[in-house]
Amino acid sequence: MSGRLPIARALTLLAAVRAAPLAAQAPARPALTPEVRVDGAFGREGGAFGGAGLFGDAGLYTRVGVVAAVGLARDPDGVGPGDGSRTVVPAARLEALARFHLDPLRMARRGVYLGGGVAAAVRDGAAPRWQLVALLGVEGAPRGRLAPAVELGLGGGVRVAVALRRARPGRR
């Protein structure tokens, strides 16, 4: 029997070395969540933008990321063809945002979040205009692999956005 004990120990040691880590033991990787969005800004320099963003976890409740968007905006200094109306010019926005989710584990169908950050707005090749951004949003229940969201915010005027984000099981 003494010959079997070292063999059993060797097999146990081999099994422990070759075993894959359990899910709870795996190192946590920050999940990056892509989104596509359409924004409408209302105000002196309002416009319409289409964009994409990428957000990552910064704790259980907070997501941080960037959004880049391009579109058309009113030029408050431009004059239209003879009628005194404002012209529309190409525009772009780059935003760095943080969102604080009140229901990060998707316990309810819809989850409210608050957010803020900074944006650099460029119109027709001019120098960037820096703006503070504040927002209130609601993320809906996932539909397949996507979760819709709507946002109301301030930053360069009042803005409304509709976004589609990759849905994560059990997380917002």
Cβ contact 103:131 at 8 Å: no
For residue 7, pLDDT beyond 90:
no
| pLDDT confidence band for 84 (50 / 70 / 90) | low
Cβ contact 93:119 at 8 Å: yes
For residue 3, pLDDT beyond 80:
no
Cα–Cα dist 120/128, whole Å: 6
Q: What is the pLDDT at residue 78?
A: 63
For residue 80, pLDDT beyond 60:
no
Q: What is the pLDDT at residue 94?
A: 96
**Cβ contacts of 88 within 8 Å, gap of 6 or more:** 47, 72, 73, 74, 75
Q: What is the pLDDT at residue 124?
A: 81
Residues linked to residue 54 through DSSP beta bridges, in sequence order: 34, 66
Q: What is the pLDDT at residue 21?
A: 55
Cα–Cα dist 57/77, whole Å: 41
For residue 39, pLDDT beyond 60:
yes
Q: How many residues does the chain have?
A: 172
Q: What is the pLDDT at residue 85?
A: 58
Q: What is the pLDDT at residue 24?
A: 55
Rounded to two decimals, the pTM is 0.77
| pLDDT confidence band for 121 (50 / 70 / 90) | very high
One DSSP character per residue, 23-77 reads GGGSPP-PPEEEEEEEEEEESTT-EEEEEEEEEEESSSSEEEEEEEEEEEEEETT
Domains of the chain as residue ranges with CATH? 30-166 (2.40.160.20)
**Which three-class secondary structure string do you get for 126-145?**
CCCEEEEEEEEEEECCCECC
pLDDT tens digits along 8-22 = 676 665 555 555 555
